[in-house]
C-alpha cells in the first residue's frame, strides 16, 4: 500500500513563502494498492494535482480513469477540488464516490448543487466523465476489489465519516476532521473501531492547545489528542493532518516537536506531520 499526500490543509487553501514546506492545498490523499484502481481520500483542492498525476500514466495509453473515492463529509475544504479534477474531462472516465448520506437529499444531488451556476460556470452533468455516488450510513463495511473499507460516523460538525482501509497486509485509518472531547481523553467506540492496531493513523491535528480552549466546539483536535488516540488504539504511526491555514511551517514544526515529546512520554507511536508531496509505502505486516 502506497500513500501520497496531495493536500494536507484544513478549512481553506493557503499560499505563502512561510507555508511552502507543508503545502497549502486542502485534504486529498491517494492510496495505491497493486492491481487495484486508485483510491482517493477526499476531494479538496489537492484533487487537481492528483488528477494530473493520474493522467500522466493514463493519457499515453488512451485509457480513461477507473477509480474510487472515500469522501468524509461535504465541507468546502473536502470537496472544492471536484470540478477541477482533470480525468473527468475524458469520455468514459468513472470515479465511484462513497460518502455520508444526507438528511434532506441524496449525496449525488447535494454535490450537484455545489457545481452549477451561479457558483460555477457549468453543471456537474457537463463533465465528460462520470461521478457515481454511493450513500453510506456510518456503519458500512465493504470491498473495493482487494481493498476492505470500514466507515464509521465520528464527531464533527455535520454528518462526518472516518475510514479504515486494509489491503495487502497493511492498514490505514483516515480521520481528517474529528472533534476532540472537551476532556481530551475520551475515545469513542467508533474511533477505536477505525484505528485499532493500524499501521498508519491520519488524524486531525489542527489546533494548538491554546487555540482549542477558545475553539473547542469548532470540530477539530490537537496534536496531543491525536497522539492520545493513537496510543489508546495501538496505532504504529501517526501523521498529523488538516493543518490550520493560518499556521506557518515554523509553527507546524513546533507542533510536531511538541507531539513527539508527548508520544515519547506516553507510548511508542511514531509521529510525523503530513506534507504535501510526501509519499511512502506501508510495509506488509
Render pLDDT for 143-182 as a digit per residue (tens, 0 to 9): 999 999 999 999 999 999 999 999 999 999 999 999 999 8
pLDDT at 265: 87
Alpha helices by DSSP H, listed for the chain, are: 47-58, 76-79, 107-112, 189-195, 209-214, 223-233, 249-266
pLDDT (average), residues 71-90 = 96
| Nearest C-alpha neighbor of 115 from the set 95, 137, 131 | 131
pTM of the predicted protein model: 0.96
**To the nearest whole percent, how much of the chain has pLDDT over 70?**
99
pLDDT over 90 (residue 96)? yes
pLDDT over 80 (residue 267)? no
The fold of 2-280 is Metallo-beta-lactamase; Chain A (3.60.15)
pLDDT over 90 (residue 236)? yes
Q: How confident is the model at residue 285 (pLDDT cuts 50, 70, 90)?
A: low
pLDDT at 284: 63
**To the nearest whole percent, how much of the chain has pLDDT over 90?**
91
The helix-helix angle for 249-266 and 223-233 (nearest 10°) equals: 40
For residue 2, what is the enclosing H or E element? strand 2-7
Amino acid at each position: 500500500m502506497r500513500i501520497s499526500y496531495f493536500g494536507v490543509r484544513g478549512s481553506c487553501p493557503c499560499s505563502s513563502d512561510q507555508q511552502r514546506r507543508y503545502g497549502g492545498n486542502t485534504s486529498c490523499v491517494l492510496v495505491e494498492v497493486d492491481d487495484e484502481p486508485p483510491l482517493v481520500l477526499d476531494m479538496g483542492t489537492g484533487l487537481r494535482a492528483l488528477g494530473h498525476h493520474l493522467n500522466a500514466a493514463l493519457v499515453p495509453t488512451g485509457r480513461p480513469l477507473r477509480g474510487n473515492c472515500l469522501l468524509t463529509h461535504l465541507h468546502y475544504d473536502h470537496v472544492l477540488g471536484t470540478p477541477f479534477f482533470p480525468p473527468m474531462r475524458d469520455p468514459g472516465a468513472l470515479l465511484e464516490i462513497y460518502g455520508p448520506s444526507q438528511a434532506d437529499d441524496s449525496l449525488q444531488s447535494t454535490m450537484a448543487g455545489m457545481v452549477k451556476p451561479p457558483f460555477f460556470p457549468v453543471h456537474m452533468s457537463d463533465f465528460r466523465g462520470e461521478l457515481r455516488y454511493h450513500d453510506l450510513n456510518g456503519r458500512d463495511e465493504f470491498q473495493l476489489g482487494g481493498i476492505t473499507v470500514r466507515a464509521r460516523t465520528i464527531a464533527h460538525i455535520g454528518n462526518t465519516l472516518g475510514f479504515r482501509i486494509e489491503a495487502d497486509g497493511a492498514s490505514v485509518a483516515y480521520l481528517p476532521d474529528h472533534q476532540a472531547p472537551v476532556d481530551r481523553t475520551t475515545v469513542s467506540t467508533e474511533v477505536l473501531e477505525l484505528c485499532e492496531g493500524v499501521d498508519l493513523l491520519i488524524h486531525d491535528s489542527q489546533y494548538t492547545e491554546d487555540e482549542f480552549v477558545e475553539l473547542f466546539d469548532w470540530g477539530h483536535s490537537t496534536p496531543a489528542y491525536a497522539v492520545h488516540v493513537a496510543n489508546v488504539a495501538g496505532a504504529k504511526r501517526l501523521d498529523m493532518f488538516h493543518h490550520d491555514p493560518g499556521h506557518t511551517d515554523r509553527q507546524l514544526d513546533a507542533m510536531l516537536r511538541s507531539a513527539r515529546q508527548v508520544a515519547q512520554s506516553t507510548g511508542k507511536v511514531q509521529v510525523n506531520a503530513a506534507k504535501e508531496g510526501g509519499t511512502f509505502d506501508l510495509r506488509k505486516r
